[in-house]
């Protein structure tokens, strides 16, 4: 008999990288999931090809939740690995929930996020915790390291599109790159972080008022900061150009950057579909937050 668990994918509306260093960020759970199925077995094995990091993360989560690793692990996902949609966190949350089911115990969203964080550390070294928080809770959350995540008021409908610019490098390398820049150019980094914190306040306000035009502008401004961190690529710029040229209100890197996904805000569902169509070669899809 199999034991099943799921975790959401995520998009970061504002604050990727800055959250690693203690700033606030805002993330949204996207309606695409990863599902893990565990079957009891004498020892740990996988029904799919995987690397050492995933094996290590799996061991950590299973030991924490099921107090043993005797399982065959299977996984399916509605979104790609290494795209900036938080695949590793959604895998770890799904795994924690499946492990709890196998151990015959209840697991809250908060506990699933906490157990998944152990796996995230194996994957990424120094994760902020925003991905596993979103993968467990979904919704729209204000996040800051070491604080309880705070669900945010959403006072209207926001029509998002996500497009995938192509495979990005491992999150760990991109996080290390930004951490080095923070160390080598502290004044420049501080100025960017200050701007990011200001954008967080404005974003909370735009979300609560249901003001999509303001939110789109803030996303563009956030993207300027991420580009200054060296996280944009020609494909990301191409996606932003196509989206904005076809009526998008704003578009930004989401996740670690250096490839991966672009989060786009459309004025309505129809425009969102049109933009997703134009970005067909980038595997674009739309979803609604309200």
Q: Using CB under 6 A as the criterion, what x/- string covers residues 124-163 for binding ligand PMV?
A: x--xx-xx--------------------------------
Q: Using CB under 6 A as the criterion, what x/- string covers residues 52-91 for binding ligand PMV?
A: --------------------------------xxx-----
Provide the pairing of β-strand 140-143 with 158-164: unpaired
Alpha-carbon distance 72 to 205, whole Å?
Answer: 46
Cite the beta strand spans of the chain per DSSP E: 2-14, 25-40, 45-46, 71-77, 140-143, 150-151, 158-164, 250-253, 261-266, 285-289
As a residue count, the chain comes to 290
β-partners of residue 30 are 9
187 catalytically annotated? no
Judged by beta carbon, residue 212 or residue 226, the one nearer ligand PMV is: 226
**How many residues form the binding site for ligand PMV (CB under 6 A)?**
17
Please pick, among 52, 131, 184, 277, the residue that the annotation labels catalytic: 131
Helix 171-184, helix 109-124: angle, nearest 10: 80
Best CA proximity match to 272, nearest among 264, 260, 283: 264
Judged by beta carbon, residue 130 or residue 141, the one nearer ligand PMV is: 130
Closest approach of ligand PMV to the CB of residue 194, in Å: 18
Member of 7, 216, 255, 259 binding ligand PMV (CB under 6 A): 255
Member of 29, 149, 259, 260 binding ligand PMV (CB under 6 A): 260
Tokens of 178: 């930004």
Q: Rule CB under 6 A: is residue 171 a binding residue for ligand PMV?
A: yes
Q: Are 20 and 128 in contact (CB under 8 A)?
A: yes
Closest approach of ligand PMV to the CB of residue 20, in Å: 5
Member of 175, 200, 215, 243 binding ligand PMV (CB under 6 A): 175
Catalytic residues, which ones?
131
**Which residues bind to ligand PMV, rule: CB under 6 A?**
16-17, 19-20, 84-86, 124, 127-128, 130-131, 171, 175, 255-256, 260
């Amino acid at each position: 008999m199999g034991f099943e668990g799921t975790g959401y994918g995520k998009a970061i509306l504002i604050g990727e990288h800055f959250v690693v260093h203690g700033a606030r960020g805002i993330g949204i759970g996207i309606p695409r999931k990863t599902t893990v199925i565990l079957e009891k077995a004498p020892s740990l094995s996988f029904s799919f090809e995987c690397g050492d990091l995933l094996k290590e993360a799996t061991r950590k989560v299973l030991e924490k939740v099921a107090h043993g690793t005797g399982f065959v692990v299977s996984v399916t996902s509605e979104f790609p690995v290494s795209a900036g949609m938080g695949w590793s966190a959604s895998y770890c949350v799904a795994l924690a929930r499946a492990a709890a089911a196998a151990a015959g115990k209840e697991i809250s969203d908060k506990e699933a996020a906490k157990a998944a964080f152990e796996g995230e550390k194996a994957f990424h070294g120094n994760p902020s915790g925003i991905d596993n928080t979103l993968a467990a809770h979904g919704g729209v959350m204000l996040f800051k390291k070491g604080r309880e995540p705070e669900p945010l008021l959403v006072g209207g409908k926001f029509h998002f599109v996500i497009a995938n610019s192509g495979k990005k490098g491992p999150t760990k390398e991109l996080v290390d790159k930004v951490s080095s820049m923070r160390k080598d150019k502290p004044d420049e980094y501080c100025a960017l972080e200050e701007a990011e914190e200001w954008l967080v306040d404005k974003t909370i306000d735009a979300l609560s008022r249901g003001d999509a035009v303001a939110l789109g502008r803030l996303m563009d401004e956030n993207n300027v900061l991420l580009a200054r961190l060296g996280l944009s690529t020609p494909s990301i710029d191409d996606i932003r150009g196509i989206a904005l040229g076809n009526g998008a209100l704003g578009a930004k890197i989401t996740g670690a950057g250096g490839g991966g996904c672009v989060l786009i805000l459309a004025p309505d569902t129809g425009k969102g579909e049109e933009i997703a169509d134009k970005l067909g070669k980038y595997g674009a899809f739309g979803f609604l937050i309200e």
